Structure 1
Amino acid sequence: MTRAWNFGAGPAALPEAVLKQAADEMLEWHGAGMSVMEMSHRGKDFSGIIGQAEADLRELLKVPANYKILFMQGGAIAENAIVPMNLAGKNPKIDFVETGSWSTKSITEASRYADVHIAATSLNPKAPQGKYTRIPSVSDWHLRPDTAYLHLCGNETIDGVEYFAWPDLEALGAGHVPLVVDVSSHILSRPLDVAKFGLLYGGAQKNIGPAGLTLVIIREDLLDQAHPLCPSAFRYKTVAENASMFNTPPTYSIYIAGLVFQWLKAQGGLAEMERRNIAKAELLYQTLDRSDFYISHVERACRSRMNVPFFLADESRNDAFLAGAAERGLLQLKGHKSVGGMRASIYNAMPIEGVRALVDYLQDFEKTQA
């Protein structure tokens, strides 16, 4: 069997070494006599698994001691409701910066629970392709000084826009405002100064592990701000007090995430992953930029290293492009249905060899269509 190059945006490719280890341990884990999927989440074996996973994640991200790591469920979409129910219960005002499809979804959901204000937007509704192509200049942001928190989407998985510098809220007169960021599709791709944020959250199915697990990293002083009607299983304070065991957690997804954390450490940590990710992204973007056959709309300063959307100048060739890619074992390159075009997701698990294979195909396809 030959594995294909999987450019899917999520569920996404996992490191091959992790898949092999999980396969070896599928029927029986470390003398336990059963699979991880079968063991009690309250038993000593799984307690060791989740404890090690949390310790490794805390080490990778250098998470300060005054932050809790929560293993939850529901993905980032559920967190779009869970975050405002937890952080805006006593002050139902939330500010957003809108930079793409996912921040827009967050805004729509949060508006059910709070007074939502769009502090800045990069939406260009008249653009035929790529309606979100940049991050608004911070000088154009207008935050309310009494907002409960400011929400950003750190990397727009659909639109390919990524933050590489975080706003100086002190300079905006909002140094007291917690910064909340959806990090679903770029967490663990580079070092991150967790102390800059009040809360980070993300679905696991891109850079961490299989679908089913959601990570939340929250500063302890924000744990007790929830609305009284927030469900107990989603109340951060309750989840933290019960070490993510208030309800049955997604045990197998946590186990795989733990293997990924160990793999990342073995590769050299997040600084090494950033070096690799820069090299992969530069190779792919340079290939797109050298050609008039392909179009990349995102401004260079905020082009995502994880998700690279692009369009064929002649979109009548889309089907032929995807068919030819599949023949070469280059899979899941079709862009999101809301924007069209193509998208190559090149998360941590995608090696440079996979990006080179895609670059070779981009060049060959252009030659055959000229």
Structure 2
Amino acid sequence: MTKRAYNFNAGPAALPLEVLQQGQEEFINFADSGMSIMEMSHRSAIYEEVHNEAQSLLRELLGIPDSYKVLLLQGGASTQFAMVPMNLLPAGKVGAYVMTGSWAEKAIKEAQLFGETAVAASSETDKFNRIPDLSTIQIPANAAYLHVTSNETIEGTQYKAFPETGDLTLIGDMSSDIMSRPVNVSQFGMIYAGAQKNLGPSGVTIVIAREDLVAASPKSVPTMLRYDTHVKNNSLYNTPPSFSVYLAGLMLKWVKGKGGVAAIEQINRDKTKLIYDRIDQSGGFYRGFADPSSRSDMNITFRIHTEELEKRFVQESEHHGFVGLKGHRSVGGLRASTYNAVPVESCRALAEFMSDFQKRNG
């Protein structure tokens, strides 16, 4: 292959070429075993080493304290929307949620099936184009936890700082920006994330949880949906998504090789600036959806003044090798997802295409 697509898909998303190539090289015969990693037992010493190394790299790169457990689960963040209240929302307590858009709303709807919930803050009146001011968050006195969605992939907004909750457990859905910037894990009781945007392919879900929160789950919760089941069995209670875990491990090694999470953050800021500058300097031809104070470094959402031009933009971009620039069906418009593995060259090419498109259609 001499040319790869400019991949701006929102997820599953781009993976580094080096990671894909290593996976290809090891696909048939992993670690001189005569088998693919997809063929071997998850109880084997070879797989267990891969599994444990992925957990260890997560700890190292994110600075996860020893008092936290790292779980490698299945079901995506959507399953965590239910597991969180099933395990952590007892009767008489309230699950508090900050409503920031489509994914926060899904989390709230699942929690409502299991207990009482409250919206602690919301930006719905602004069509979710910003993260609510942290000073507006009102947490009920009997709250069990406060849940935030760190980055809304559909609206293109992102927390720049997280609420300080003191002794109250803070839970973060970081599916679309985990490993894209340093985070103080100790500020959270739990962080969860699907891997398919910044950490690897779809299939594995990362859960980072303070040990006291997940040491004992309610006995009424089904076995597979109990956190303590997976804690006690090192996420090997049932057959794990072994190939996804393996590729996530390669992705983590790639991040480490780039200089770690802080270095990745600077790269992400540099490459998204290329596109945001093109929007801001277009004289209104392109209009960013997210308020500048809440702009995501992962998902750049923008509009052109007519839907006809937006359709033409998508069609022409696809002809030039760009993939995934059509906005989510629920909000329309345009979106460029610039996750960790999207190279700066792709962002530069998109900025140049946007300039050319404006010259021809402005």
Q: TM-score, normalised by structure 2?
A: 0.97
Q: 1:329-366 deviations in whole A, cap 9, x for unaligned?
A: 11111100100011000000011110000000101011
- The equivalent of 1:172 in structure 2 is none
Instruction: Give, in angstroms, the shift of residue 180 of structure 1.
Output: 0.2
- Rounded to whole Å, the distance in 2 between the matches of 1:94 and 1:284 is 37
Conserved 8 A contact 2:50-2:246: yes
Task: Determine whether 1:68 maps to 2:69.
Answer: yes
- Rounded to whole Å, the distance in 2 between the matches of 1:91 and 1:222 is 17
Q: What aligned pairs does 1:320-359 form with structure 2 within 5 A after superposition?
A: 320-359=312-351
Instruction: Give, in angstroms, the shift of residue 224 of structure 1.
Output: 4.0
Instruction: Give, in angstroms, the shift of residue 17 of structure 1.
Output: 0.3
Question: Matched residues, percent identical?
Answer: 45
Conserved 8 A contact 2:173-2:192: yes
- The equivalent of 1:163 in structure 2 is 159
- The equivalent of 2:183 in structure 1 is 192
Specify the code of the residue in structure 1 equivalent to 2:137: W
Q: What aligned pairs does 1:204-215 form with structure 2 within 5 A after superposition?
A: 204-215=195-206
Specify the code of the residue in structure 2 equivalent to 1:340: G
Aligned counterpart in structure 2 of residue 154 of structure 1, from 150, 170, 182: 150
Instruction: Provide runs of 4+ in structure 1 moved above 4 Å.
Output: none
Conserved 8 A contact 2:91-2:115: no
- Rounded to whole Å, the distance in 1 between the matches of 2:218 and 2:4 is 47
Secondary structure at the aligned position of 1:30 is classed as: helix
Unmatched tracts of structure 2, length 5 or more: none
- The equivalent of 2:207 in structure 1 is 216
Q: What aligned pairs does 1:206-245 form with structure 2 within 5 A after superposition?
A: 206-224=197-215, 226-245=217-236
- The equivalent of 1:183 in structure 2 is 174
Task: Determine whether 1:303 maps to 2:295.
Answer: yes
Specify the code of the residue in structure 1 equivalent to 2:180: S
Secondary structure at the aligned position of 1:353 is classed as: helix
Instruction: Give, in angstroms, the shift of residue 92 of structure 1.
Output: 4.2
Conserved 8 A contact 2:164-2:187: no
Greater mean alpha carbon deviation, residues 1-10 or residues 178-187: 1-10
Instruction: Give, in angstroms, the shift of residue 142 of structure 1.
Output: 1.1
Instruction: Give, in angstroms, the shift of residue 30 of structure 1.
Output: 1.3
Conserved 8 A contact 1:25-1:35: yes
- The equivalent of 2:308 in structure 1 is 316
- The equivalent of 1:279 in structure 2 is 270
Task: Determine whether 1:16 maps to 2:17.
Answer: yes
Q: 1:180-217 deviations in whole A, cap 9, x for unaligned?
A: 00000000001111000000001110001111111100
Instruction: Give, in angstroms, the shift of residue 286 of structure 1.
Output: 1.0
- The equivalent of 2:54 in structure 1 is 53
- The equivalent of 2:117 in structure 1 is 116
Instruction: Give, in angstroms, the shift of residue 152 of structure 1.
Output: 0.3
- The equivalent of 2:193 in structure 1 is 202
Conserved 8 A contact 1:10-1:205: yes
Specify the code of the residue in structure 2 equivalent to 1:102: W
- The equivalent of 2:106 in structure 1 is 105
Specify the code of the residue in structure 2 equivalent to 1:330: F
Task: Determine whether 1:135 maps to 2:131.
Answer: yes
Q: 1:90-139 deviations in whole A, cap 9, x for unaligned?
A: 55420011011100111111100110100110002xx7xxx211111122
Greater mean alpha carbon deviation, residues 248-257 or residues 229-238: 229-238
Greater mean alpha carbon deviation, residues 92-101 or residues 211-220: 92-101
- Rounded to whole Å, the distance in 2 between the matches of 1:289 and 1:17 is 33
Specify the code of the residue in structure 2 equivalent to 1:204: A
- The equivalent of 1:264 in structure 2 is 255
